[in-house]
Structure formats: structure tokens, C-alpha cells
């Protein structure tokens, strides 16, 4: 019997290997997010100071909405038979949940970093808040990964599964969106960002606990 | 062929709803209007109870969902579903009436106020809950999935309720359950509390009818699944003897 950590690592490795083969995040979701950042100025106007002001907020909205696609990719990729096969291996359902979330976390951090560069270039965003950015990327990545994996587990293979996950994730990711935008804004204005970062960390912890506790009942559901 | 479930005949909820509705209407139309807002303030007697009922309904959804996860009894799932559905209707009512009240008082239908925005988000979360229930016909799978969401989603209620205290908002702070003293005239407060009580009666009546209906829906679903199911060995035909006789 292998330990919990090894089970998590095995599941995460499997998901990341699948991503390396298909390249879904790097070749599809990331360009899609970049296109969204390109389209907004075409729709609302190319006034440089305005774009500079809305750039950071827009970046987080794109991360939240398109980040869901990263979490939901496993729902699309896995068939019921594959899911049953994983369940039959006897792996701890909580380890499967954490492993999947860990893989999504890695991909989401890469996604945020790449899209962050695109935002900096296109919107000429001021760089004062950049010290906090890696921390925010990590916390938002963890939160979105845990939430998306939980939602994908809840929806599973039902009808409209792919469309339903974003509907569940988007409203519940509000604390992450508010935390991320306000933390950087506070830093820009010379105020402490600690409260906002703590709020995001609490959200991540709540999601982790909820995901681990619900992993077994959700696996029973099939 | 399985027998179709019999329709429900409980009639007291209809009477309770009608009486409670009538009492609310008469009380809210006879109380003196607000000194500043005038007749417009009468919206309060439907808007506030609607919001209260939404909180109550979603809290019941959470409790019934937790009970389902514990007992694995579908009756709890039906209560959770019924309550969520009623909660969504009353959240929509609270938002709609709030907007109607906001236009003449604030000058806009919608403003980016914390309570308004969070209430709209709560509405969408529970809309997602109802959508989730339509993804599978397996009663226990549906119940387990939605129960987990039903428990998780309840965090919205304290967020919405305390948003007017935690953030600086345009929406007024609590007038009735204020820590110090209620910031509302006594007859208006009495009418408001009566309306809240009557809405609660309506909620109970609606729950009784909706749970009955949910039970019938489940029975129909099960009967259809039994009707449609293939009997084991159906595809195997008996070997034919000479002359075609089985």
C-alpha cells in the first residue's frame, strides 16, 4: 500500500503527462485567454490611461473565467470507464482529488504567469504590485484548482457537465477574485495587503477541506 | 407495467398560502406610509420578507443536504430540492422588488452595492444547484452531488446578510435586528414582522406541496426506469426445435 503523498504524486503526474501529450492548456486555453485580452480594447476603446487602469482587473477576470477551463479539462478527457478504473485501483478518493487539483494548480500558475506577461505588454500595467504577484498567483492557482476539481467531481459525467462546471465555479470564485484584485490594489496604494491574502488563504483551506471530505461520497456517485 | 403514482390531495397548504397572502396584503396596505418615502415604502413589506425567506430556504437546503449525507434518505434530498427551488424564486423576487424600490430612491435600477451584487451571486449559485439536479436521473447520485453543493453554497448567506456591515454600502444597514434598538417606527415594525411571519407560513405551505410533488416526480422517474429497463436475458432467444416450435 503506497502512502497518501505518493498517491497524490501519481495522480498529478498522470494528469500532467496527459497535458504534455495533448497540450490543451498551452496550445488552446492560453491563446484563448490572450485573445480575450486583445478583444477588450477593440470593444471598449484604445484609450491608453483607461486600459492601464482596467488592465489588472481584466487580467483577473480572464484568469477566473478561462482558468475554469483548465480545471474542467479532466471532466472532458476522462470517460466513465477510465474513472471507474481509477476508483478500482483502491487509491484514496481524497488523494485522487488532491492529485488532480495539484496538476491543475501547476497548470494554472503557468497560465497566470504567461497571461500576466501578455497583460503587462498589452495594457502597460504599472509594476508597483509585482512583488506580491507570485504569492497571489500561487494562492489563486490553488483556490481555482481546488474549486474547479471539486465542481468537476460534483458534476461528474452528467448531462451538460462541461457547461455546468463554469456556472458553479464562477460565482464561488468571487472571494479569490476580490482578494487578488484588492491585494494588489492595496499594495499599489501603499496599504497592507495581508487581510486580502489571508482571506484568499482561508478560502483555499475551506475548499481543500470541503474537497477532501466530499471525495469519498462523490466517488460512490460514480 | 408499474402503477403510476397517485396525485396529491392535501389542500390545507393552498388555504394557508391564500390566507397568509391576504393578511400580508391587507396589513401592508393599511399601515401608515413612511414619512419620507411615502407609498413607496410599502414595497418593504414584500421585499424584506422575500429576502428573509430566501435565507431561510437556503439554510433549510443546507440542513436537509447534511441530513441526506448522514442518513442517505431521499426524503431529505427532496426537502433540500424543494427548499432551494422556493429560495431561488424568493431571491428573484427580492432582487426584482429591490430594483423597483431602487429606481425612485437611488435613481438607478442597479448599483454596484455589495449586498445587491452578493445577492445576485447567491441567486446564480442556487440556479447552478438546480441545474446540477438535472444532470442525472439516478436518484442517489443526484442527491449526493447536490447535497455537497447544498452544504457548500450556504456560506453565501452570512456574506449577503453582513455585507452591509462589513462593507460601506449604499444599501441601508439592518433596521430590525440592530444591535442597539430597531431604527423603524413601531406600527411599521409590527407590520413588517407580521409580513415576515406570514411569508414563513407561505414557505411551510409551499414546502409541503413541493415535497409532495418531488416525491411524485421521483416515483414517476423510477417507474419509467423500470418500464424502460431491459430484462436480463431478453436478447437471448430460445432455441428452435424442428418445425419452428420453441
pLDDT, tens digit, 9 for 90 and up, residues A77-122: 677 777 777 778 888 999 999 999 999 999 999 999 999 999 988 9
The continuous run of DSSP H or E covering B104 comes out as helix B74-106
ipTM of the complex: 0.75
Nearest CA in chain B to A178: B114
Predicted pLDDT at A129: 61
Q: In Å, how far is B154's CA from the nearest CA of chain A?
A: 11
Specify the pTM.
0.79
Predicted pLDDT at B31: 84
**pLDDT below 50 — which residues of chain A?**
none
Predicted pLDDT at B114: 78
Mean pLDDT within B150-177: 70
Q: Does pLDDT of B1 surpass 50?
A: no
Chain B contacts to A (CB-CB under 8 A): 69, 121-122, 124-125, 127-128, 131-132, 134-136, 140-141, 144-145, 147-149, 151-153, 155
Nearest to B144 among A159, A167, A217 (CB): A217
SS (H, E, C) chain A: CCCHHHHHHHHHHHHHHHHHHHCHHHHHHHHHHHHHHHHHHHHHCCCHHHHHHHHHHHHHHHHHHHHHHHHHHHHHHCCHHHHHHHHHCCCCHHHHHHHHHHHHHHHHHHHHHHHHHHHHHHHCCCCHHHHCHHHHHHHHHHHHHHHHHHHHHHHCCCCCHHHHHHHHHHHHCHHHHHHHHHHHHHHHCCCCCHHHHHHHHHHHHHHHHHHHHHHHHHHHHC
Nearest to A164 among B128, B152, B153 (CB): B128
| Mean of pLDDT over chain B | 83
Predicted pLDDT at B113: 79
Q: Does pLDDT of B177 surpass 60?
A: no
- Give me the residue spans of the domains in chain A: 4-221
Amino acid at each position: 500500500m503506497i502512502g497518501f503523498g505518493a498517491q497524490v504524486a501519481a495522480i498529478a503526474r498522470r494528469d500532467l503527462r496527459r497535458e504534455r501529450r495533448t497540450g490543451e492548456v498551452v496550445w488552446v486555453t492560453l491563446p484563448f485567454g490572450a485573445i480575450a485580452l486583445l478583444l477588450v480594447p477593440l470593444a471598449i476603446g484604445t484609450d491608453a490611461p483607461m486600459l492601464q487602469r482596467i488592465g489588472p482587473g481584466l487580467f483577473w477576470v480572464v484568469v477566473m473565467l478561462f482558468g475554469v477551463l483548465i480545471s474542467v479539462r479532466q471532466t472532458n478527457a476522462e470517460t466513465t470507464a477510465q474513472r471507474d478504473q481509477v476508483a478500482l485501483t483502491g487509491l484514496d478518493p481524497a488523494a485522487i482529488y488532491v492529485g488532480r487539483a495539484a496538476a491543475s494548480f501547476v497548470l494554472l500558475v503557468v497560465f497566470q504567469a504567461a497571461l500576466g506577461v501578455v497583460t503587462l505588454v498589452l495594457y502597460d500595467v504599472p509594476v508597483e504590485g509585482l512583488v506580491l504577484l507570485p504569492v497571489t498567483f500561487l494562492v489563486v492557482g490553488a483556490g481555482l484548482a481546488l474549486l474547479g476539481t471539486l465542481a468537476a467531481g460534483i458534476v461528474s459525467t452528467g448531462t451538460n457537465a462541461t457547461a455546468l462546471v463554469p456556472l458553479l465555479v464562477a460565482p464561488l470564485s468571487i472571494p479569490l477574485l476580490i482578494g487578488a484584485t484588492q491585494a494588489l490594489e492595496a499594495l499599489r496604494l501603499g496599504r497592507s495587503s495581508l487581510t486580502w491574502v489571508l482571506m484568499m488563504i482561508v478560502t483555499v483551506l475551506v475548499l481543500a477541506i470541503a474537497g477532501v471530505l466530499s471525495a469519498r461520497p462523490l466517488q460512490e456517485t460514480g | 407495467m408499474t402503477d403510476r403514482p397517485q396525485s396529491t390531495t392535501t389542500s390545507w397548504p393552498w388555504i394557508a398560502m391564500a390566507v397568509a397572502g391576504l393578511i400580508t396584503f391587507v396589513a401592508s396596505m393599511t399601515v401608515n406610509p413612511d414619512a419620507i418615502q411615502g407609498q413607496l415604502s410599502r414595497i418593504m413589506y414584500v421585499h424584506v420578507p422575500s429576502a428573509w425567506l430566501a435565507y431561510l430556504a437556503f439554510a433549510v437546503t443546507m440542513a436537509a443536504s447534511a441530513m441526506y449525507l448522514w442518513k442517505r434518505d431521499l426524503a431529505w434530498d427532496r426537502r433540500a430540492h424543494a427548499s432551494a427551488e422556493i429560495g431561488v424564486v424568493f431571491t428573484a423576487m427580492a432582487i426584482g422588488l429591490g430594483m423597483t424600490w431602487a429606481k425612485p430612491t437611488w435613481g438607478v435600477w442597479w448599483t454596484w452595492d455589495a449586498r445587491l451584487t452578493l445577492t445576485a451571486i447567491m441567486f446564480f449559485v442556487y440556479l447552478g444547484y438546480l441545474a446540477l439536479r438535472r444532470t442525472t436521473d439516478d436518484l442517489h447520485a443526484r442527491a449526493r452531488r447536490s447535497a455537497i453543493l447544498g452544504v457548500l453554497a450556504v456560506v453565501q448567506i452570512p456574506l449577503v446578510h453582513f455585507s452591509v456591515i462589513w462593507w460601506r454600502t449604499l444599501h441601508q444597514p439592518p433596521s430590525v435586528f440592530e444591535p442597539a434598538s430597531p431604527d423603524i417606527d413601531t406600527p411599521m415594525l409590527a407590520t413588517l414582522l407580521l409580513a415576515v411571519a406570514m411569508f414563513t407560513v407561505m414557505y411551510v405551505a409551499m414546502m409541503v406541496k413541493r415535497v409532495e410533488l418531488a416525491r411524485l416526480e421521483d416515483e414517476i422517474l423510477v417507474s419509467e426506469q423500470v418500464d424502460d429497463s431491459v430484462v436480463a436475458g431478453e436478447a437471448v432467444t430460445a432455441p428452435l426445435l424442428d418445425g419452428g416450435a420453441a
